Structure 1
């Protein structure tokens, strides 16, 4: 959520800042702005507009070598020009951009009002600008002023601060919201995501919670809120500017759907062992003895990551014969959970920055739980907090609706289930069958993608529907939930997922000619029961879209989306790809803005 970009160097800041904001548009936002230090004054241009329109408003002719920029996702106050970032103090000396939420914002606002300062916006961020400006009257250092104010705030923040009277430096800080420094040649960059930096540098430094950094064109220094200097390690990120280019695709979601065969090949590369019928996951720091000692597995995620975690729990329990289940990370810490010392906890997050999942990890660590991460960003907060885990290798994902990261999450859980299973009772023969199926999975995904035109035709036929059911059993229940979520996210069609057996316990009351049902029918031991589900829906006049790799009676489906067989427990992955295309083409038929669905953000860094 929200995007921060900062620059200090010898170039012109404005075009660098605007390009950085463009790279962060995928995070979700409702307004945008920038602040430039021109002479000893700030030039602030901001509005409730997209980055493209902001670029037009900024225009040419700005030569300032330092500045800040921001895309805002509204928390305190509606998306208006006044509430857009950057925010300044009353004298226009200090500019602040901020991701996160201040929990004691009202207390700070009352303090400012009592001092005769009336904020002009509804935001919590503006309060920081006024407070920092007041601190500067009694200190010679912008860093010390920022530090003094941050000691007084409660809540999450990633901030960047510019003082017009010190136009050669920026001060940034984080606590719960990511900040990354980019190290250039005679110039320095700041961002909330490396996507804004890789066009200029691949050398980055990640700030930790409770850290500040003061950056100038040729140097940076970091310290804690307690003013103790810290030593940082420079990391070289393994993505480039080319990875973020759209190429010949009309939007990133379509591009990323089609990147999935390559992403899966990258995920399994070097990790499958046919000789011993197992998997090797180098990011796990636990040895074989420790991995065998776990008596249960608990997976935690939010949104798509939670649904994939449900499927992952099924895979682990089936192959390793260890009790496994999944829970929304957003609920975990609030129910005062009992932490099992003999359990392995797994935190799942595409971005590695999901606030609720990070909070669950921190709660687990406080209580002595053993937790690993499954993330797509190795330098992310969750990855660093866990210290051990599995990297997805999905590559950069830009569209808000996750596709290739979701698929690679499932693949990584399959490899973990295989590894744990082979340490226990999973036979060599069965293990080799899983290895073979994982090797064959990219080709099966390519076969689904080759059928895109047929899937698009089905989607367009049913794009009239204002509501849909997604129905699945056992392995296909999490897939149904993910399919319904995708449709909701990008098309705004009301979609709900149900277990097939639950239809008779209430939802059948909603079935009529205006409620299509997308029914997932796998070619497994439950085929007859799934055919009975189709009959129940058809008997009540409900249109049926069957997604299947089995032979079903022709009169029980109004449309059929066929997918290939891979492996009984891995077939749900190819069903997921088909549902991605189905949701995508409904949203396209409805003219939706695919990559930037309303009210949503890619990286959810607030509760």
Structure 2
């Protein structure tokens, strides 16, 4: 969500901060600001709107070589300038940028006001700046520790102090924070995307850890002010990976990157000799995997819907009970953590706060949890017991596409691996393996026919609401399709199991309510066609995402044909047209496809 950048070194800080904030725009924000510390003190500039508006407002001569910047997504208080970051102490000495939420901010605000402090914003962050400034500690590090001792909640903090212009102090608890190592310069960011032009060596702070960065290096320590050891790691993301490369939107670029991304997640993981998947990163021996009697999948948003698809794959291939649950609800219902359950956390960014907290709850109670994560070195990737990296490459658009497809493929690999450890025959294992090998080529085929969807998109763009329906394997596809349409086109969309249509939703079907039906060629095709008949009988426009082998007969439906694969793998391919449809509808309606309103790429607060 919110983005943090920081710089200290031998170059003017402002241009580097602006560039870093621009790199973080995809995370979602409504205001931006920076503070640069120079020989005459701190210059702070904040603006509501885009980073380009902040850049236009900067003084022409802003030469300080240490600074912090922020893009804010409103939580406490509306998107107005006084609520934008950085926030400063009353005397202007302390400047703070913060991601996360301070739970006891209201109490602290009351206490500060009673002590005569004037609060200028509605935010929780401002209290941190005042607490640090009011500390009697001799060092900035000790002052930050004093402030942290009084707050509860989640935070990633970067702090400047005019009395200590040679350093930035950082703190992390529940929200990501990364140090970038340069040549006589150091950088700070909440996301590696802000660092890739300047370094490929980074340090990930752990929860409860703090750091001091100076031009010469960094020092990490814990809440007790005792040193910690944190070694740099190399990142593989290149700056060109974050460019549009001639596409009008990142979402379209990432849709078209799916064949290559799919090949990457499968590469080296298909064992033809034993007709299984090779998943060394799980860190689990066959005997341990056979000991699990249930699989519980946890994710949020699209990752949750892919988790439902994954649960079906595991039940189909491994014959182990499996289900998916919204990670955002999991820890609040006092879950029973069973020793014979394998927990799977799914997150593109690896920083999704609700999912990370669910992982912590499982581990605290002794459960075994693995991750399906795209970002190496992310919080969830470092917390879980093992896992499968998605290898989708950087994903910038808020609406996930290629990472989503790679999640599905990773679940197929996990299901195949578990299946072959149980009762899945060599012949069926080989059948699934061959199906997986066909998927990159089939993705390429579908994307080559993307223009065929545009006439359907023009019809859907006229609607105010839409239904997505699917049965069993098609239902997670329907849920994800509805999610995509609503989040980037702002058209209200609902997903229902096809069998539930007659139990209430059918009342809403009329000439202005289109239905997108997921109709694979499987044992339920006839029942799905019968439901389509019910929609058409009520004059509802119908779009069928289906296989050529499904005979629609006399049905007056617009069709989107998908290549046929194995029945268990068909949902992966059936999802692709829902991405293209949502994208084209959003473009036709003139929306900002990559930055849908009110949403963020990486949801790092509850």
Tell me if TM exceeds 0.5. Answer: yes
Instruction: Output one character per residue of 1:524-544: Cα deviation in whole Å (capped at 9) or x when no partner.
Output: 111111110110000011000
Q: 1:88 and 2:85 equivalent?
A: no
Q: Which range moved further: 395-404 or 34-43?
A: 34-43
Instruction: State the match for 1:124 in structure 2.
Output: 124
Quote the Cα distance in structure 2 between the aligned partners of 1:296 and 1:314. Answer: 12
Equivalences for 1:343-492 in 2 at 5 Å?
Answer: 343-492=341-490
What's the CA shift for 1:554? 4.9
Partner of 2:565: 566
- Counterpart of 1:108 in structure 2 is 108
1:79 alignment partner, SS class: coil
The alpha carbon displacement at 1:275 in A equals 1.2
CA distance in 1, matches of 2:543, 2:349: 33
The alpha carbon displacement at 1:387 in A equals 3.4
- Name the counterpart of 2:294: 296
Partner residue of 2:253? 255
TM-score, scaled to structure 2: 0.99
Determine which of 529, 544, 562 is the counterpart of 2:527: 529
Aligned partners of 1:156 and 1:522: how far apart in 2?
44
Give me the whole-angstrom Cα distance separating, in 2, the residues matched to 1:507 and 1:257. Answer: 31
1:144 aligns with 142
**How big is each residue's C-alpha offset from its partner over 1:127-154, in whole Å with a ceiling of 9 and x where there is no partner?**
111111111xx22211110011011100
Give per-residue Cα distances to partners, 1:419-468, cap 9 Å, x unaligned: 01011111111111111111110011111101110012211132100100
Give the Cα separation in 2 of the matches to 1:551 and 1:357.
Answer: 39
CA contact 1:40–1:164 (8 Å) conserved in 2: no
Distance 1:171 1:603 in 2: 24
CA contact (8 A) 1:40 1:167 kept: no
The change in CA–CA distance for 1:181 and 1:526 in structure 2 (over 3 A counts) is same
Deviation sequence 1:254-310 (CA, Å, 0-9, x none)? 110000000000000000011110000121111111011111111011100000000
Q: Does the residue aligned with 2:473 lie in a helix, a strand or coil?
A: helix
Matched residue of 2:370: which SS?
strand
Query: How far apart, in 2, do the equivalents of 1:523 and 1:317 lie?
Result: 20
SS state at 2:398 partner:
coil
SS of 2:81's equivalent in the other structure is coil
Which stretch has the larger CA shift, 358-367 or 96-105? 358-367
Runs of 4+ in structure 1 deviating by more than 3 angstroms, as ranges, are none
CA shift digits 1:287-335 (9 cap, x unpaired): 1110111111110111000000000000011100111111111111111
**Which residue of the other structure, out of 193, 210, 216, is the alignment partner of 1:195?**
193
Partner of 2:183: 185
Contact in 1 for aligned 2:397/2:594 (Cα 8 Å): yes
- Residue of structure 2 equivalent to 1:500: 498
Q: CA deviation at 1:507?
A: 0.5
**Which residue matches 2:75?**
75
Task: Give matches, 1:303-342, under 5 Å.
Answer: 303-342=301-340
On the 8 A contact 2:520/2:550 being kept in 1, the answer is: no
1:123 and 1:356 map into 2 onto residues whose CA distance is 22
Aligned CA distance change for structure 1 residues 571 and 59 (closer, same or farther; 3 Å): farther
- Which residue is 2:173 aligned to? 175
Contact 1:251 1:595 (C-alpha < 8 Å) held by counterparts: yes
Matched, 1:582 2:588: no
The count of residues paired between Structure 1 and Structure 2 equals: 605
Residue 76 of structure 1, CA deviation: 0.5
Q: Aligned partners of 1:404, 1:554: CA distance in 2, in Å? A: 34
Query: 1:40: how far off?
Result: 4.1
Conserved? CA contact 1:376–1:391, under 8 Å: yes
Query: 1:407, CA displacement in angstroms?
Result: 0.4
Give the conservation status (yes or no) of the 8 Å contact 1:13–1:63: yes
* Separation (CA, whole Å) in 2 of partners of 1:411 and 1:62: 49
Cα offset, 1:60, TM superposition: 3.4
Unaligned runs of 5+ in 2: none
Distance 1:441 1:59 in 2: 53
Q: Equivalent residue of 1:162, what SS? A: strand
Cα distance in 2, alignment partners of residues 558 and 448 from structure 1: 20
**Contact map agreement 1:103 1:155 (CA 8 A) in 2:** yes
